A and B are shown apart, each in its own frame.
Chain A
Amino acid sequence: MQNPSAKTHLYRMGALFIVFIVAFLAIKEWATPSSWNYEVWYRGAALIEDANKPMLYGGNDSCKTCHEEVVKETKKLKHKKLSCEGCHGPLGTHVRGEEKIADAEVINQSRWQCLNCHAELISKPPDFPQFTDEVDKHTTIEEGEGCLKCHDAHDPTP
Chain B
Amino acid sequence: MKKINSNSSILDSKSRRVFLKQIVSGGATALMIYTSGVRGGHETSRIWKQRSTEHHWAYIIDVGKCIGWGGCVRACQKENNVPEGNFRTWVERYVVTEDGVYVDSPKGGAQGFEPVNAGLKEKAKRAYFVPKMCNHCENPPCVQVCPVGATYKSPEGFVMVDHDYCLGCAYCVQACPYAARFINHEINKSDKCTWCHHRVKQGKLPACVEACPTRARKFGDLKDPESEVSQILQEGVWTVLQPAMHTGPSCFYIGLPKEVI
Measured CB to CB, the nearest residue on chain A to B152 is A42
- Complex interface: chain B residues within 8 A of A54 (CB): 198
Chain B residue numbers with a CB within 8 Å of A56 are: 78-79, 207
Q: Are A51 and B93 in contact (CB under 8 A)?
A: no
Contact flag A123-B78 (CB < 8 Å), given A50-B160, A51-B201, A128-B214: no
- Which residues of A lie under 8 Å from residue B111 when comparing CB positions? 116
Of A13-21, A64-72, A79-87, which binds chain B? A79-87
The yes or no answer to A117 lying at the interface (CB within 8 A) is: yes
Q: Are A122 and B79 touching (Cβ within 8 A)?
A: no
Are A59 and B50 in touch, CB under 8 angstroms? no
Tell me whether A123 and B68 are in contact (CB under 8 A).
Answer: yes
Contact string against A for B residues 133-169, beta-carbon threshold 8 Å, 1 for contact and 0 otherwise:
0000000000000000111111000001011110000
Cβ B198 vs Cβ A43 within 8 A:
no
Whether a CB of chain A sits under 8 angstroms from the CB of B194 is yes
Interface residues of A in 83-101 (CB under 8 A from B): 83, 85-86, 90
CA distance A81 to B34 in the complex (A): 52
Residues B165-215 near A (CB distance < 8 A): 165, 194, 197-199, 201-202, 204-205, 207, 210-215
Minimum C-beta distance from A133 to chain B (A): 12
Judge whether A47 and B121 touch: CB under 8 Å: no
B150: nearest residue on chain A (CB-CB)?
A: A42
Tell me whether B64 is interfacial, beta carbon within 8 Å: yes
Which of B64, B127, B198, B201 meets A122, CB within 8 Å? B127
* B129 A57 Cβ-Cβ under 8 A: no
Contact of A81 (CB < 8 Å), options: B115, B197, B213? B213
Given contacts A41-B149, A43-B162, A46-B165, whether A123 and B93 have CB atoms under 8 Å apart is yes
Interface hits, B199-255 → A, CB 8 Å: 199, 201-202, 204-205, 207, 210-215
Write the nearest CB–CB distance from B167 to chain A, whole angstroms. Answer: 13
Q: Say yes or no for A150: interface residue by CB 8 A criterion.
A: no
- B99 nearest CB across to chain A (Å): 16
The reply to whether B152 and A40 form a contact with Cβ atoms under 8 Å apart is yes
Q: Is B60 an interface residue (CB 8 A)?
A: no
Residues on B with C-beta less than 8 A from A119 are 112, 115
Please indicate the chain A residues that have their CB under 8 angstroms from the CB of B66 in the complex: 125
B 17-42 binary contact with A (CB < 8 Å = 1; else 0) = 00000000000000000000000000
* B75 contacts A by Cβ under 8 Å: yes
Residue numbers of B with Cβ under 8 A of A are: 49-50, 64-71, 75, 78-79, 93-95, 111-113, 115-116, 121, 124, 127-129, 149-154, 160, 162-165, 194, 197-199, 201-202, 204-205, 207, 210-215
Residues in chain A within 8 A of chain B (CB atoms): 37, 39-43, 46-47, 50-57, 59-60, 81-83, 85-86, 90, 116-117, 119-125, 128
With A43-B164, A43-B165 known, 7 other A-B pairs at CB within 8 A are A40-B49, A46-B164, A47-B154, A55-B79, A83-B212, A85-B75, A85-B210
